[in-house]
Amino acid sequence: MSVLIATSLYDWLPGIISSVFGGSVVAAIIALYKVRPEAGQIVVTAAQGALIVQTGVIDNLKKEVERLNIEIEELKKENETLRATVNSLLSNQVRHDGEIKSLLH
C-alpha cells in the first residue's frame, strides 16, 4: 500500500512542484504529461533488466545442475567399485575363516 502511495506521489510530484513554483496550472499539466511517459518507460526498462538477471540466473542454475549430474554419475561408479571391493574382501574373509578353523581342528 505504501509503495502504491509513494509511486502515485512520485507521479504527481513534478506537477505539484511546477504549480507551486511556477504559479501556473498549465505548467503543472505540461509537466505531468512530460513525466508520465517516462514513468512507463522506467518501469519497462526495469522489467527488462529483471528479465535479463533472471535469465542469467536460470542459465547458471542449468550449468550447476549439469555439473552436479556428472558428479552424481562419477560417485555412483565409485560406489559400485567400492561395493565390489568390499564384497571381495568379505568373501576372502569367509574363506580364510574356514581355513583357520580347519587348521585349528
The string of pLDDT tens digits covering residues 32-90 is: 666 555 555 656 676 667 777 777 788 889 999 999 999 999 999 999 999 999 999 98
Full-model pTM: 0.46
Give the structural domain span for 10. 2-104
- Give the closest residue to 28 by CA, choosing from 38, 17, 15: 15
Tell me the one-letter amino acid at 92.
Answer: N
For the chain, what is the domain count? 1
d(CA 70, CA 61): 14
